[in-house]
A and B are shown apart, each in its own frame.
Chain A
Amino acid sequence: MTRRAALLVAVAGALAARTASAHPLDLGYLRIDAAGPALTATLDLDASAAAHLLGTGPSTLDAQALRERAAELADATIRRGELMTELGACRWKRASAELRARTASLVLEAVCPSGARTLRWPMPFVSGPRVASTFQLLVKARLGGAEQVTTVDRGAPELVLSQDSRPGFAQFVWSGIEHIGAAPGEWHDDDGWKLPDGLDHILFLLALMLAGGTVLRLVGIASGFTLGHSITLALSGLGVVRPPASVIEPVIALSIALVAAQAFLGKEERRRWQVAAAFGLVHGFGFAGALGELELSTPELVTALFGYNAGVELGQVAIVCVVAPLILLLQRRPALHHAVVRVLSAAICVAGMYWFVQRLVG
């Protein structure tokens, strides 16, 4: 239904044997991918716009000519302005161009100073005489893992991109809450109820707390877990130790099974906080996975680690606040408590073993 507009545009141009876009000269698309010092820019323009810029007839530009004149097209467009960072200019490497149907696609590679976080790129060609006055360039840039979308036109002919526009502290906190499965969205979405992604961490905590104890002991267990995962989350987040997920995930599953088995057998009741701390070390590596994808610089990482860890703690507190009162209540009926511990810990142990096998065999 909502595609009818595009259909009608295509149909209205049906008299010729080709498809003409609605405003082919008016819109260009620039994609920028910056990973470390290497930068790749891809500019897509209508072929006739490229021909105008090269001073050739719009219907005579062919693929061979475009390939041969790639450098010239680059100089007439995005290479006209100097690509600068706060640490100095970038150095252009190679340019190549391809003609695909009615789109001229120009690819430029550059090397920028290492550690640069801001790009400043004037695009004087958008104001030039060979480009329509209504020309706009949509820019999509990926810098340091984050995506930015902006527009360059005659009114704003300079592109400024900064890696400062990153998730803030609050967003990292929420990320942590989500990862441990305490966010409401982890349990329910538009399609109905679902199990949270952090269910394994929740069951681990539950297995640790099942055997009960005083309030202080339960708090001690949660704190031990916090201590453990905070250490390895920091080590992994800072890149000091980064074991592969293929090792960590099965071990996390095994930890769940072992703790549940201990609860079942009634072992090590007095040292559960130490057990929590020890296995927390493993879980911390699991928590660090989400941060690794962001490719943050070191100062940003510290903020992210604090925020993310705070989020995991808040989520943990939420879980403990739900579970602990139930366990304390259950402890008033020792026989029932004993049975519930046995049954639930057996169930959690089976779940842990299932995950262990599943994650091991992939």
Chain B
Amino acid sequence: MRLRPFLDLPPRSSLLLGAAVAIAAAVATVAITTATRRPAPAPQARPSALAPEPQLVRYRHPIAAADGAADPDLDGEIAALEARIRVPAPSPLDLTELAELHLRRARLTGDPADHAAAEAAARRSLELLPSPNGAVLVLAKLASTRHEFPRAIELARKHKQGTSMGALMVLATSHLALGQLADASAAAEALVEQQPDASSYLMRALVLQAQGRDPEAAFDFARAAAADEPGDVQEPARLRALWARFLVRRGELAGARLVIDEALRIAPGHPLALAQDGELLLRTGRAKEASARFEQAFAASRQVRYLIDQARAQELAGDRPGADRLRAQVEKLVRPELTEGGLGHRLELAEVLIDRGAPADLTEAAALAREEVARRPSADARFQLARALARTGNPGEASRQVHAALALGAREAQLYELAARLEQQRGNAARSALYAREADRLDPGASGWRKAGLP
């Protein structure tokens, strides 16, 4: 083709040609960047089977102002019982009741002194009356709080052969924590059969969620909400926060938004609801807002978990140095507990070390996660171990851990994303694509959050 006719174009034609080139260039640029970039988070076109009914989400009772003290009579009751047991031969029933009151106050305040007092009273009661004695259930609950789940199970089974409401709740919680889902399910079913109230339905919903039985879990979350009682709003808010967590993780983002908004309407500063709001914002590409929400959740609860989430959101918002500074502080907060033999934050420390990603950190993280899997082989622990192994160049073992987590019924977008990458590394393209599709389905926002901290 000859160029000269084009080169001799008059100015006006050149201008028109230039405008046409500009428009074509703009269209081409948009097309190329759209094709190469991930799509912006898209709203869900139609509700899924898990989508909640708005009328079931709504808290139907009046919302009382939460200005009162936790339990003003509790201190008085404890004081009265302590006076009563100061006799040479105190009643084992009084001791058991005292243990229960201390435990109740410990649940409200978290005071370790109350935990210790509850344990001391319960043990003393059992010395006087080995069986039947409700004090064994107090010890079971204490063991559960301390994450001594096998011990908690052993003790709970001693209380009315593990058939009381309290024992069943401990059994369901502890088996769930250990990844023993069949046993957790049995305990949860027995709970609902004995007392079909909000807490029983909620427990069963959580077990079903862990098993990957999503429609049934969705049903039970709704049943739990329907069984709301008037009065304290913290429990209804917590229920909705847990429900929203389930929906967020299953990619039902519109439903999650509905439920979270209701939780925050009921209890505006509820930390778990704030954290789920943060999670939802993160999954829809609003990392900076998510970071602020996690910070609010931390301020309202001082749970280290939310700092880890905040650091992740900060990094996704582009502030890697700020995220690492925060991770350094998280490490400083949780290490003393580990050196003193505490177990509660081991997995969280592993998670922070993996997120930071330095070679020495990853080696330590793998060791911590291995210990946690040995003690508590839950899907969560296996996922963290898989992350650490994948980043330390051990894809084979990482893959085994991922599949073990999937076999437990875990269905999380990040887990599938990791599975896809590991299969890709091992040359299994078709299987990798399968997992990638599942990850996309569970993460419709596709904002990039799920790649954070993965190899």
Identify the A interface with B (CB < 8 A): 1-29, 31, 42, 44, 46-48, 51, 57-65, 99-103, 105, 132, 134, 136, 138, 140, 147-151, 190-195, 264-265, 335-336, 338-339, 342-351
CB-CB nearest in chain A for B40: A191
Q: How far is the CA of A304 from the CA of B178 in the complex (A)?
A: 55
Tell me whether B145 and A5 are in contact (CB under 8 A). no
Q: How far is the CA of A318 from the CA of B451 in the complex (A)?
A: 32
Looking at chain A's contact residues, the main secondary structure is mixed
CB-CB nearest in chain B for A30: B299
Q: Closest CB-CB distance, A140 to chain B, in whole Å? A: 8
Tell me whether A17 and B333 are in contact (CB under 8 A). no
Tell me whether B267 and A3 are in contact (CB under 8 A). no
Q: Interface code B376-389, partner A: CB below 8 Å = 1, 0 otherwise?
A: 00111001100000
Tell me whether A12 and B144 are in contact (CB under 8 A). yes
- Of the residues B23, B37, B384, contact of A2 by C-beta under 8 Å: B384
Most buried by B among A18, A62, A150, A190: A18
CB-CB nearest in chain B for A58: B109
User: Given contacts A63-B67, A193-B36, A343-B21, is CB(A18)–CB(B414) below 8 Å?
Assistant: no
Q: How far is the CA of A105 from the CA of B173 in the complex (A)?
A: 32
User: Given contacts A7-B206, A14-B173, A20-B110, is CB(A64)–CB(B302) below 8 Å?
Assistant: no
Q: Closest CB-CB distance, A75 to chain B, in whole Å? A: 22
Q: How far is the CA of A151 from the CA of B309 in the complex (A)?
A: 18
Tell me whether A342 and B70 are in contact (CB under 8 A). no
| Residues of the A chain whose Cβ atoms lie less than 8 Å from the Cβ of B6 | 339
In chain B, positions 58-95 with a C-beta closer than 8 Å to chain A are: 66-72, 74-75
- Of the residues A3, A18, A22, A350, contact of B108 by C-beta under 8 Å: A18
| Residues of the B chain whose Cβ atoms lie less than 8 Å from the Cβ of A58 | 70, 75, 105, 108-109, 111
Identify the B interface with A (CB < 8 A): 3-4, 6-9, 11, 14-15, 17-19, 21-23, 25-26, 29, 32-33, 36-38, 66-72, 74-75, 104-112, 141, 144-145, 147, 166, 169-170, 173-174, 176-177, 199, 202-203, 206, 232, 234-235, 238, 242, 245, 249, 267, 269-272, 275, 279, 295, 298-307, 309, 322, 325-326, 328-329, 332-333, 336-337, 340, 344-345, 347-348, 351, 378-380, 383-384, 405, 410, 412, 414-415, 448, 451
| Residues of the B chain whose Cβ atoms lie less than 8 Å from the Cβ of A265 | 11
Q: How far is the CA of A126 from the CA of B336 in the complex (A)?
A: 16
Between A and B, 21 residue pairs with Cβ closer than 8 Å are: A1-B415, A3-B309, A4-B378, A4-B379, A12-B145, A21-B301, A23-B302, A24-B109, A25-B109, A28-B302, A42-B299, A46-B110, A59-B72, A59-B74, A149-B326, A151-B329, A192-B33, A335-B4, A342-B14, A347-B18, A350-B18
Tell me whether B112 and A2 are in contact (CB under 8 A). no
Q: Closest CB-CB distance, B100 to chain A, in whole Å? A: 10
- Of the residues A134, A147, A151, A339, contact of B7 by C-beta under 8 Å: A339
Tell me whether B69 and A23 are in contact (CB under 8 A). no
A-B pairs with lowest CB-CB distance, top 3: A346-B18, A24-B110, A48-B109
Q: How far is the CA of A190 from the CA of B448 in the complex (A)?
A: 9
Tell me whether B111 and A346 are in contact (CB under 8 A). no
Tell me whether B7 and A15 are in contact (CB under 8 A). no
Tell me whether B38 and A192 are in contact (CB under 8 A). yes
Tell me whether A351 and B22 are in contact (CB under 8 A). yes
